[in-house]
Amino acid sequence: MALLTSSIIAKEFMKEFKGYSKYAKVVDKQYADKFGEQSGDVSKGGTTIEVKTPQEVAVRTGRTASFVTPDEGKRSFSVDTMYGVDLKFTDVELQLSIDDFSGRFIKPAAAKLAAKVDQKIADAAYKAFPKAVGTAGTTPSSLKTFNLARGKLVNALVPESDPLYAFVNTDASAEMVEALKGLLSPNKQIADQYLNGYMGRAAGLEWIESTHVPVHTVGP
* DSSP per-residue letters across 62-78: SSS---------EEEEE
pLDDT digits (tens, 9 = 90+) for 63-87: 888 887 777 778 887 777 889 888 8
Instruction: Report angle CA 217, 219, 220 to the nearest 5 degrees.
Output: 170
Cβ 20 vs Cβ 111: under 8 Å: yes
The enclosing H or E element of 10 equals helix 6-20
pLDDT digits (tens, 9 = 90+) for 125-159: 888 888 888 888 888 888 888 889 888 888 888 87
Does the pLDDT value for residue 39 go beyond 60?
no
Four-CA torsion 90, 96, 99, 104, nearest 10 degrees = -40
pLDDT digits (tens, 9 = 90+) for 2-24: 678 888 888 999 999 988 888 88
- The predicted pLDDT at position 33 comes to 75
pLDDT digits (tens, 9 = 90+) for 89-105: 888 888 888 888 888 88
- The predicted pLDDT at position 115 comes to 92
Rg (CA), the chain: 23
